[in-house]
Amino acid sequence: MVDALGGEPGAHSARYAAERFPPDADRPRRDAANTEKLLEALDEVPDDGRSARFVCHLALAEPGRVLLETTGAVEGVITRRPRGANGFGYDPVFLVPALGATIAEIPAELKNELSHRGKAVRQFATELARMLGEQEKHGTRG
């Protein structure tokens, strides 16, 4: 989610530049097209206006009712050109200011620790265990 673009590419991040690649394009080609379109869209945006975040929202639901929701995020800034060879998607242009590195420049272990997906999943697992423990404690587990 890029602030200067009103939150784009957002939930459409994997298809942000879909008009630039065929439906059967491999991941590297899709990633390159998406990154290129993002950088073009931000070309005139000054460095201090390129704030962005990766966000993952998880939900557990049953018909008519959400049982559990968690969100994980990592804050960053979009660089002017790709840096690093690790990762995929927007990782090479997503700079974590506290590290002075893009997600594609850091080791996998650190990426997993910082990851928006990892944060959301860890929080989800904790909350789910708590919820199931409460149900077990009260004898309401299905």
User: Domains in the chain, please, with CATH?
Assistant: 3-138 (3.90.950.10)
- Helix, strand, coil percentages, rounded to 5, for the chain: 45, 25, 30
End-to-end CA distance of the chain: 38
Confidence of residue 28 (pLDDT cuts 50, 70, 90): very high
Dihedral of CA atoms 82, 87, 89, 95 in degrees, nearest 10, equals -50
**pLDDT of 142 higher than 70:** no
**pLDDT of 125 higher than 80:** yes
Q: Return the amino acid letter for 9.
A: P
Question: What average pLDDT is seen over the chain?
Answer: 94
Dihedral of CA atoms 29, 32, 34, 40 in degrees, nearest 10, equals -140
Q: What is the mean pLDDT of residues 60-68?
A: 96
Q: Rounded to whole angstroms, how far apart are CA atoms 122 and 63? A: 25
Q: What's residue 141's pLDDT? A: 55
pTM: 0.86
Structure-block tokens of residue 69: 């929701």
**pLDDT of 136 higher than 80:** no
Alpha-helix runs per DSSP H in 11-138 = 27-41, 108-114, 116-138
Q: What is the pLDDT of residues 77-97, one digit of tens each?
A: 999 999 999 889 999 999 999
Q: Rounded to whole angstroms, how far apart are CA atoms 85 and 12? A: 23
Confidence of residue 72 (pLDDT cuts 50, 70, 90): very high
Between the CA of residue 79 and those of 14, 110, 124, what are the distances in Å?
Answer: 19, 20, 31
**pLDDT of 34 higher than 70:** yes
Confidence of residue 140 (pLDDT cuts 50, 70, 90): low
**Which helix (DSSP H) or strand (DSSP E) does residue 89 occupy?**
none
